[in-house]
Amino acid sequence: MRLLRAVAGFFLFIELPVPIYWLILHSFKSFWRDRVRAAFWIAGLTAWTAGGMLLWICRSLLLAATPPLWFAIVAGWALIGIEIYLFVRVERELGARRLVGHAELSGTGEMFAGGLYAHVRHPRYIGMFCAVVGAALLAGTPRLWAILAVWWVFALIVIRLEERELAARFGATYVAYRKRVPAFLPFRLWNGEK
């Protein structure tokens, strides 16, 4: 039980602040352009300090005292495994500097549409979503599902900002990529996406 709570807490600490980090970077992109190194430190410290404090303060509410059901444990570990795989693949394909937003702030670099990005536009968000859902399953408390819903709303806002920035930076190339490649699933459920 302690191991499950520790793993859930670790992945929640790692993943929950990510949309806040990107929201800080994308919202003030022109300000950060001349302060790239400071941007990473300030956005990172702000997001993970706030996220860590929130998790610490709410830990008794977010991490259940009763163990989750066995199938929730299996599903939770499987989803966290998917996140680890996706993270390693994306880091290998993009590199660490690009993964933390250096290209967005510097306004340089070429558009990458290979590897996982040839199948889905946002493999990192798929991985993070899997990790947060996996952590919620391991934690065994329904309260985390409300946190997950709020997290997903923030993630969708950040994705909109990111796609707007990519369309502005890469123009028709990105617009064609966005039409050709689905956002989250390697297939389209409907044909209405822009």
Sequence ranges of the domains in the chain: 2-180
**Cβ-contact 77, 134 below 8 angstroms:** yes
Predicted model pTM: 0.84
Share of the chain above pLDDT 90, in %: 40
pLDDT (tens digit, 9 = 90+) per residue, 148-168?
Answer: 899 999 999 999 998 998 998
Give the integer Cα–Cα distance in Å for 39 and 119: 30
Most confident range (mean pLDDT) of 76-85, 159-168, 177-186 is: 76-85
Give the integer Cα–Cα distance in Å for 162 and 25: 10
Measured at the alpha carbon of residue 132, what is the angle toward residues 130 and 137, in degrees to the nearest 5?
A: 90
For the structural domain made of 2-180, what CATH number should be given? 1.20.120
Look at residue 127 in the predicted model and tell me its pLDDT: 95
Q: Which position has the higher pLDDT, 104 or 5?
A: 5
Residue 4 has pLDDT above 70, yes or no: yes
Report CA torsion sign: 150, 155, 158, 160. Answer: negative
Residue 64 has pLDDT above 70, yes or no: no
Return phi, psi of residue 86, to 5°. -65, -40
Residue 185 has pLDDT above 90, yes or no: no
pLDDT (tens digit, 9 = 90+) per residue, 97-123?
Answer: 777 777 777 666 788 888 999 999 999
